[in-house]
Amino acid sequence: MRSYESVYRQSIEAPEEFWREAARGVDWDVEPERAHDGGRWFPGGRLNTCHNAVDRHVAAGRGDQDALIYDSPVTGSARRYTYRELLDLVSRTAGMLRGLGVGAGDTVVIYMPMVPEAVVAMLACARLGAVHSVVFGGFAASELAVRIDHARPKVVLSASCGIEPSRLVEYKPLLDAALERASHRPAHCVILQREQHPADLTEGRDLDWESAVRDAEPAGCVSVAATDPLYILYTSGTTGAPKGVVRDNGGHAVALHWSMANVYGAAPGEVYWAASDVGWVVGHSYIVYAPLLAGCTTVLYEGKPVGTPDPGAFWRVVSTYGVRTLFTAPTAFRAIKKEDPSGSFAKKWDLSSLRYLFLAGERLDPDTYHWASALLGIPVIDHWWQTETGWPMAANCVGIEELPVKPGSPTKPVPGWDMRILDDDGNECPPGVEGAVTVRLPLPPGCLPTLYRDDDRFTEAYLSRYPGHYLTGDGGRIDEDGYLFVMGRIDDVINVAGHRLSTGAIEEVLADHPDVAESAVIGVTDELKGQLPVGLVVLKAGVERDPADVERELTALVRERIGPVAAFRRAVVVSRLPKTRSGKILRGTMRDIAAGTPYRVPSTIEDPAALTEITDALKG
């Protein structure tokens, strides 16, 4: 019988042996020379991620098993795809891309809603050895343009529209506006025409998805180096400029395949549902790649936890498809709890198939943990990871040994992750003392090897502060039992419903308003979404405006520039911002004021009265 401690100890003390064994779980065209060479995982190895996710299961006789279940309450439709059907769709979509000149190493931007074609598009890119960059459909044209310019795609794959519970989002006009702003011009855009709102196509550039795929010759898998990139996923940075997180093929396949059995306790043939979006890292890792690498059935859900049509939406999906493992964000459960505090909707469905509930993306508050545990009567597991890491850093690894839960903690480091809490001088903190959460190098497979076209920024952002360690950007502590407690960001990136957003990027938008002289954005605690951005703005001299009008205009501006995902609705007009004498805005102090926690007035503050005004404004 394995124990968590023995598995973890082997992963840290004998990583070469540990990860060579894990690598046997995937198919290699060329076996790697070793697990790690000091800088790269599985050097010399060659493989194809799409083959491992689709083809090999068909070859092994599992072609008639469901690979993908699409459930869309917003359109009133559902469909199942077997592994054999998925292989056919992916092969022909890859053939379509190959016909448009896409080959190994080329980039493809995917800007799509939660439809099966989004999953197919990602796998088709992987099949060719092309590098996909999925942009979340909630981002505005300006954000899409920035990513197009940085990724320089040969082709953009998109759809005519996305569908929300109360509105329709026209993707094609957003894409057109982004391409007008961008300096890079992709050769082609392939548009999935949805019957709810077909789009006008631009002659010579745009192709109709259905006919383009129908007429394409199927393409086979292209063998790539384990160290070649699989995808780029942009995440917010503290400066507002997006960071392109790179994921390699070999380490990614090995780590995600290992995680399904060992972290999540999932077995081939089981139904696994990550209720997220393909535009985020959870969607990449645990809607698309990991479940398929493991031979599971994955659920793609185009809907919300509430309102499509009611707070029983998740329970319907679990019951209908026999979901064994559900993974979502605490925000989703807070929304369900708000609408149905007694859990009466859950009682209407047979949830006997559900074995585990995993929550991640933001801190799981003890109240939500206890509510979900009492409602479902199954293990509710908080776990913690980041876009950069690609898979969990800390979790209760139920496939190894289920450990006692401590509410507020994501339990212990996952094997492979050598977690350390360091103080400002780089010394390891004793148990129970808070500091910076770091990972001692080397990072395990599956974690980002660099940032796209920005190796220097990768080093500066993650490796320079504590030599020999990866800086997660979060603060926390490890208690005397080895349990990790993550207390929150130590930079200016906030977490809105599991989506990391740069306060700097929002500040840049506010600064573009003609009446705003300067601004600061902080994250404040919100019962439903975890955090919400609040803007504190100083108007230009001589401007006399109704603060309510300013707030409405700034809200609309943020929605236009960044998108509704920012959930920006509060802008407070103040006469001045608290600063140090050197001009640094005291964001940390303002966050403490907003949270109602004790704070120390810095000795370098220029105008102490400014804090009094901020305190009154935030309380109002």
pLDDT digits (tens, 9 = 90+) for 267-286: 999 999 999 999 999 999 99
Q: What is the distance between the alpha carbons of residues 372 and 375, in angstroms, rounded to a whole number?
A: 5
pLDDT digits (tens, 9 = 90+) for 119-158: 999 999 999 999 999 998 867 898 899 999 999 999 999 9
Please give the C-alpha separations between residue 210 and each of 101, 159, 191, in angstroms, as whole numbers.
18, 11, 9
In contact, 17 and 410? CB cutoff 8 Å: no
For the cut 60, the answer to whether the pLDDT of residue 170 exceeds it is yes
Half-sphere exposure of 72 (CA within 13 A, CB side): 16
pLDDT of residue 314: 98
Tokens at 21, concatenated? 């064994």
Q: At the topology level of CATH, where does 4-303+383-440 sit?
A: Rossmann fold (3.40.50)
Asked: is 493-619 a CATH 3.90.550.10 domain? The reply is no
In contact, 517 and 538? CB cutoff 8 Å: yes
Closest CA to 190 of 168, 212, 174: 212
Amino acid letter, residue 285: S
Half-sphere exposure of 596 (CA within 13 A, CB side): 2
Q: What is the distance between the alpha carbons of residues 567 and 559, in angstroms, rounded to a whole number?
A: 8
Average pLDDT estimate for 364-392: 93
Amino acid letter, residue 399: G
Give residues with Cβ within 8 angstroms of 403, minimum separation 6. Answer: 4, 396, 397, 411, 412
Q: What is the distance between the alpha carbons of residues 502 and 523, in angstroms, rounded to a whole number?
A: 10
For the cut 70, the answer to whether the pLDDT of residue 237 exceeds it is no
pLDDT digits (tens, 9 = 90+) for 20-68: 999 999 999 999 999 999 889 999 999 999 999 999 999 999 999 999 9
pLDDT of residue 116: 98
Average pLDDT estimate for 417-439: 94
The ranges assigned to domains in the chain are: 4-303+383-440, 493-619
Residue length, the chain? 620
Residues linked to residue 229 through DSSP beta bridges, in sequence order: 248
pLDDT digits (tens, 9 = 90+) for 589-606: 888 888 777 877 765 576
What does the DSSP 8-state code read for residue 139? S
For the cut 50, the answer to whether the pLDDT of residue 582 exceeds it is no
For the cut 60, the answer to whether the pLDDT of residue 160 exceeds it is yes
Please give the C-alpha separations between residue 304 and each of 333, 433, 477, in angstroms, as whole numbers.
11, 39, 34
User: Which phi and psi angles does 282 have, rounded to 5°?
Assistant: -60, -40
Amino acid letter, residue 245: V
For the cut 50, the answer to whether the pLDDT of residue 239 exceeds it is no
pLDDT of residue 383: 96
In which residue are the tokens 């909630």 written? 138
Give residues with Cβ within 8 angstroms of 533, minimum separation 6. Answer: 494, 496, 501, 503, 506, 521, 522, 523, 524, 566, 567, 568, 570
Average pLDDT estimate for 348-361: 96
Average pLDDT estimate for 208-225: 97
Q: What is the distance between the alpha carbons of residues 54 and 67, in angstroms, rounded to a whole number?
A: 8
497: left (phi over 0), alpha (psi -120 to 50) or beta: left
**What is the DSSP pairing of strand 469-478 with strand 484-489?**
antiparallel
Residue 580's pLDDT band (boundaries 50, 70, 90)? low
Higher pLDDT, 542 or 264: 264
Residue 335's pLDDT band (boundaries 50, 70, 90)? confident
Amino acid letter, residue 436: A
Tell me if residue 200 falls in helix, strand or coil. Answer: coil
pLDDT digits (tens, 9 = 90+) for 172-185: 999 999 999 999 99
Give residues with Cβ within 8 angstroms of 167, minimum separation 6. Answer: none
pLDDT of residue 604: 54
Average pLDDT estimate for 417-434: 94
pLDDT digits (tens, 9 = 90+) for 464-508: 999 999 999 988 899 999 999 987 777 666 778 777 676 777 887
